[in-house]
Amino acid sequence: MEEGDVPDVVFAQTVYHYNNRGQECCKAARHSRSYDDFWSLVRLSGYPVCSIEEIDLTQPKAYVIVPPNDEITEAVQRMHARAGEREKRARLIAWDLETMFEEGRDSHDRLGQVVPIVDEMWVPDKLYADTLDHPKVRFVPIGSHPGLVDGELVEAKHRYDGIHLSCGSDHRRRYLQPMGQSRKIRMAPNGWDQHRHRALLTSAFMVNVHQWPVSSYAPLRFALAAAYRMPVFSEHVHDSWVLTPGVDYIDCSTVDLLTRFESLAEMARENYAEVFGEMGRRLHQKLCLDYPFRRQVEEALRD
C-alpha cells in the first residue's frame, strides 16, 4: 500500500457493552443502545461490521474496535494465536468513545490496558487525547451524517425547550434536575426509536451537560443534533473541534446553566427561526456535509 492510501476498513464490535441503563455491562445484542448512533454512523458511511472474534490479523485491513473494554486483552491474544507464524498485516485500532474522567478512576487506565496491544488508540475528544499524552493516542473526531435522523425530518411545533439524551450521573443530576423542575423550562423525556424521534423534532435545543465535572466534548450528542439541524446549548467545552462557540452552538459556564437556559427558552419562543434555527443549520452543514463521519475516518487512516 502506498503512503497516503486508505486501507480497507472494518469496524469490530466487542461482545460486552454498556446498556441504556447506565454503566452496567451486558452480554446481549450486537451492540448497546448507548452506542446506537455510533453504529448507525458506521453503517450509513458504508463500512462493514464484524465481531472482535472475526478479526484476521493476516489481512491487509484496518480493524477499528469499539468499545475497547476489558475483554480486548484476551481477544487480541486469540487473534495472534489464530494468525500463528503468518505475517501480521492488519492495522489494529481501538476507538475509545468513553472519556475516563469518572471520579475515583485513573484517566490513564487505557494506557496500561489497551494501548500496549493495539497499533493506535483513537479518542474523539481533544482534551482527553491531551490528557493521555501518548504517541499511540490520536485525536480522531466524530462527524455526522444526514441519515442519522430516525425518520422523516419535518418541521414541527416545539413542545419542549430542551432535550438531553443521556444516562445519569451525579454531575448531570445536579444541573439537569433544576431544569426539569423549573417552571420556565419544558424538558423532553429520554427515549429511543420513534419516541426519541418525535421528542427531537419537537424540542428547541439539544442540551449538553457533561457526565463528569470535566469540560470534554460530547461527539455523539453533537452529531445527533447536527443531523436534526438542532442548535446545541452546552456546558462549557474545552475544545469543540471545528465548532465555534456562539456561532455553531451556545457555550455556557456550569454555574450559569439554569438561568441562561431559562432566558434562552423564553427568547426562542418569541424568535426561534431567525437566530437559533440558523445555528442548527450551520451545525448540520459543518458536521454532516463539511466534516462527515467517513471523512474523519479516512483522514485518520491516511496519516
**pLDDT given for residue 17 in this prediction:** 54
Instruction: Give the residue with greater pLDDT, 255 vs 99.
Output: 255
User: Which segments within the chain are labelled E, that is strand?
Assistant: 8-13, 17-18, 25-26, 49-51, 61-66, 91-95, 120-123, 137-139, 160-163, 203-208, 232-235, 250-252
pLDDT > 90: what percent of the chain? 74
Q: Classify residue 1 as exposed, middle or buried by CB count within 10 Å of its CB (0-12, 13-18, 19+).
A: exposed
pLDDT at 63 > cutoff 70: yes
Does some domain include residue 299?
no
pLDDT-derived band at 156, boundaries 50, 70, 90: confident
Query: Do 155 and 134 share a structural domain?
Result: no
Helix axes 293-302, 36-44, angle to 10 degrees: 80
Query: Do 177 and 93 share a structural domain?
Result: no
CATH number at residue 162: 3.40.50.2000
Does some domain include residue 298?
no
Beta-bridge partners for 233: 207, 250
Report how far residue 102's alpha carbon sits from residue 211's, in angstroms, rounded to the nearest whole number. Answer: 8
Does some domain include residue 171?
yes
On average, the pLDDT of the chain sits at: 89
Query: Do 203 and 124 share a structural domain?
Result: no
Does some domain include residue 230?
yes
Query: Do 113 and 49 share a structural domain?
Result: yes
**pLDDT given for residue 299 in this prediction:** 96
- What amino acid is encoded at 74 in this protein? E
**pLDDT given for residue 271 in this prediction:** 84
Does some domain include residue 19?
yes
The DSSP bridge pattern shows strands 91-95 and 61-66 to be: parallel
pLDDT > 70: what percent of the chain? 89
Query: Do 136 and 45 share a structural domain?
Result: yes
The stretch 13-34 carries a mean pLDDT of: 52
The stretch 91-100 carries a mean pLDDT of: 90
**pLDDT given for residue 134 in this prediction:** 93
Does some domain include residue 282?
yes
271: how many CB neighbours lie within 10 A of its CB? 10
The stretch 118-131 carries a mean pLDDT of: 95
Query: Do 76 and 56 share a structural domain?
Result: yes
Report how far residue 152's alpha carbon sits from residue 138's, in angstroms, rounded to the nearest whole number. Answer: 36
247-257 per-position pLDDT tens digit? 999 999 999 99
pLDDT at 38 > cutoff 60: yes
**pLDDT given for residue 248 in this prediction:** 97
Does some domain include residue 301?
no
The stretch 104-124 carries a mean pLDDT of: 81
Alpha-carbon distances of 261 from 82, 231, 252, 268, rounded to whole Å: 55, 13, 9, 10
The residue whose grid cell reads 435522523 is 149
Query: Do 124 and 21 share a structural domain?
Result: yes
**pLDDT given for residue 26 in this prediction:** 39
Domain boundary among 109, 124, 140: 140
pLDDT-derived band at 33, boundaries 50, 70, 90: confident
Query: Do 53 and 30 share a structural domain?
Result: yes
Q: Can you give the residue range of the structural domain that contains 111? A: 8-140
260-296 per-position pLDDT tens digit? 999 999 999 988 877 899 999 999 999 999 999 999 9
Identify the DSSP state of 119.
S
Domain boundary among 140, 157, 183: 140
Number of structural domains the chain divides into: 2
Instruction: Give the residue with greater pLDDT, 108 vs 208.
Output: 208
Question: Which residue, 203, 207, 224, is CA-closest to 157?
Answer: 203
pLDDT at 173 > cutoff 50: yes
Query: Do 281 and 227 share a structural domain?
Result: yes
Does some domain include residue 297?
no
**pLDDT given for residue 30 in this prediction:** 41
The residue whose grid cell reads 489494529 is 92
Query: Do 132 and 154 share a structural domain?
Result: no
Query: Do 169 and 104 share a structural domain?
Result: no
**pLDDT given for residue 112 in this prediction:** 83
In this structure, what are the phi and psi dihedrals at residue 39, rounded to the nearest 5 degrees? -70, -30
290: how many CB neighbours lie within 10 A of its CB? 11
Report how far residue 233's alpha carbon sits from residue 283's, in angstroms, rounded to the nearest whole number. Answer: 12
Query: Do 131 and 17 share a structural domain?
Result: yes
**pLDDT given for residue 69 in this prediction:** 84
pTM, two decimal places: 0.91
Domain boundary among 118, 140, 162: 140
